[in-house]
Structure 1
Amino acid sequence: MPHVPVSHRFGAAIATCLLFISLFPNPTLADESDIDSLAHSRIAVVGDSITQAGHYVSFLSYQLHTQSPGRSFDIYPLGLSSETVSGLSEKGHAGGKFPRPCLFERFDRLLSKVKPDVLIACYGMNDGIYQPLSDDRFAAFQNGIQKMIDQAKRAGVKKIYLVTPPIYDYEPAGDAFNYDTVLSAYARWEMELKIPGVKVIDLHAAMRAARAERDQPFSKDKVHPNEEGHWLMAQTIASALGARDSAKSVSEVRADPVFASIDSIRNLRWKGWMNHIGYTRDKTYPPRSLGLTEVFAQKHQEMVRILLQ
């Protein structure tokens, strides 16, 4: 079989995802008003370590800003490593040093301080605790998602985007347990939700289709996607919001000065706003002053505006 460059295979994977979406319409498909409602809104993005790493958040922000240069997308990246919505934690997590944090320890403070108009949430990877599917764990995840939606709506969030979990990037041999079957079940349940003001974006199916076209995994540790995986995540979310698919590669995006400023905003805001909100993980980090976070963020936002003119 002739060698096919990785970049070509990745392009084919993206094309496969787009074909999958076009052939099987579902609640992921965008409303015409999605981009309009996101522009000039406060957008909070919550999730676990994949969201805390933040590459897909920066890539998504880049997609939105470059495709709608006359608009402002005010994104607050607020993911926390190890976090769940289920409140569950496996025995011996982090070497027995601390249990997994739960979103609801900080969610009230997040909502009251950030005051988001839009919430993007990606959970599930940690909520199954890397164990086979069980009714109790599944119910804890379902209850957590519903609680998050209810709490966000009470706080005035106008639109909620649920992103189904990324894949557990593992292809077992024989009858070995594959944790991705649990994430697939969680994703299917989310896709069945019909809640006013909530849209579900099926990242899991798109990522699984893309993985089938690749020889190499997106994730070396089975959980945390590499930059190509984060780029696919951003493309999938952006497509569901009504943005066009980008023909750029990750390296081309990274070389763009616009992206450098957008990525700086993400880094500034994650550190500044997480400290301002306060959270508990390995220990409790009490809320602190926001300081000059937004002063510096606004300088980078102005640079994005100038570069896009």
Structure 2
Amino acid sequence: MLHLFTDKITDKVIKDSADLRILFLGDSITADGLYIRLAGEWLRKHRPDLAVELDARGVPSETASGLSEAAHPFPRPCVHERLAKELAEASPGVVVACYGMNDGIYHPFSEARFSAYRAGMLRLSAQIREAGAKVVLMTPPPFDAESMNGQLLPAEASGFSYLAPYRDYDRVLERYADWLLSGSCPAEGIIDLRTPLLEHIRQERSMNGSYRYGDGIHPDASGHGVMARTLLRELFRAEPGTWPDGEDTGRTLQDIED
């Protein structure tokens, strides 16, 4: 569900879309960019009248908080290290940002880490607006412990990392998502990715108990399909039945790769 605090984002995309560039910022999920490529393919096929460019500039391991776990092989990059340059180069009309997965650094919840995430997101939103662009924030996707190959640690353990995450890390991400959805971070719109992805995982696992949602952190292709459909529905008012689903997602992926 898109939580719009004004209707200007959708109206801008739909009604005044000449040469509109939408810049996507995020971590490795956005760096993979499959959901953005799927959305772009749909727009080219179904909305050729829209002169909209989707510009994916995600960076693996990135955070908005500036935090990094000790076990990470290098200090995690922070979007604020590159934000001014990206905004100047892209000159976007809209920026879609998705952070949170890495910001809890795979630890149990702590107020200090949550505060760093909030501060980073508030700074991100403010700087985007100062550059003259509209802000759309997406909640972090869920963490699916059942899909993890690595060790899952209890809260009393130590040495948490993306390789050995807190087993209930998704509860941390839920709090981060709830904060965004509350409207506490200024933005023209908030897109809830978490809810449709959790429903997707539930449905897939009800049909196939061995279903794996990627590696538990990074969605599989079908998860990216859900993200693309959510983005298209909420930002471009795409109608159900016109986008790829199930096996069609694979054919769309093949079309893009070709």
Question: If the TM-score is normalised by the length of the shorter chain, which range does it land in?
Answer: 0.7 to 0.9
1:193 maps to a residue whose letter is: G
Secondary structure at the counterpart of residue 137 of structure 1: helix
The change in CA–CA distance for 1:231 and 1:211 in structure 2 (over 3 A counts) is same
Counterpart of 1:168 in structure 2 is 143
Shift of 1:250: 1.3
Report if the CA contact (8 A) 2:28-2:59 is conserved.
yes
Picking from 140, 143, 146, the partner of 2:116 is 140
Counterpart of 1:93 in structure 2 is 72
2:249 maps to a residue whose letter is: V
Q: Which runs of 5+ in 2 are unaligned?
A: 147-151, 156-165, 206-210
- Establish whether residue 206 from structure 1 lines up as the match of residue 196 from structure 2: yes
TM-score with structure 1 setting the length: 0.69
Shift of 1:63: 2.1
Structure 2 CA distance for aligned equivalents of residues 52 and 234 of structure 1: 14
Secondary structure at the counterpart of residue 168 of structure 2: coil
1:177 maps to a residue whose letter is: R
1:186 maps to a residue whose letter is: Y
The change in CA–CA distance for 1:254 and 1:109 in structure 2 (over 3 A counts) is same
The change in CA–CA distance for 1:88 and 1:194 in structure 2 (over 3 A counts) is closer
Report if the CA contact (8 A) 2:35-2:228 is conserved.
yes
Q: Which runs of 5+ in 1 are unaligned?
A: 1-20, 262-309
Identical residues among aligned pairs (%): 36
Counterpart of 2:213 in structure 1 is 218
Picking from 233, 238, 243, the partner of 1:243 is 238
Picking from 233, 240, 262, the partner of 2:227 is 233
Report if the CA contact (8 A) 2:26-2:99 is conserved.
yes
The change in CA–CA distance for 1:234 and 1:29 in structure 2 (over 3 A counts) is farther
Counterpart of 2:160 in structure 1 is none
Shift of 1:254: 2.6
Structure 2 CA distance for aligned equivalents of residues 28 and 214 of structure 1: 29
2:238 maps to a residue whose letter is: A
Structure 1 CA distance for aligned equivalents of residues 45 and 28 of structure 2: 26
Report if the CA contact (8 A) 1:88-1:127 is conserved.
yes
Picking from 125, 136, 139, the partner of 1:149 is 125
The change in CA–CA distance for 1:108 and 1:247 in structure 2 (over 3 A counts) is closer
Secondary structure at the counterpart of residue 213 of structure 1: helix
Picking from 164, 167, 181, the partner of 2:171 is 181
Secondary structure at the counterpart of residue 160 of structure 1: strand
Picking from 46, 57, 66, the partner of 2:25 is 46
Counterpart of 2:95 in structure 1 is 119
Counterpart of 1:15 in structure 2 is none
Report if the CA contact (8 A) 1:29-1:240 is conserved.
no
Secondary structure at the counterpart of residue 105 of structure 2: coil
Structure number with larger C-alpha Rg: 1
Picking from 163, 181, 188, the partner of 1:191 is 181
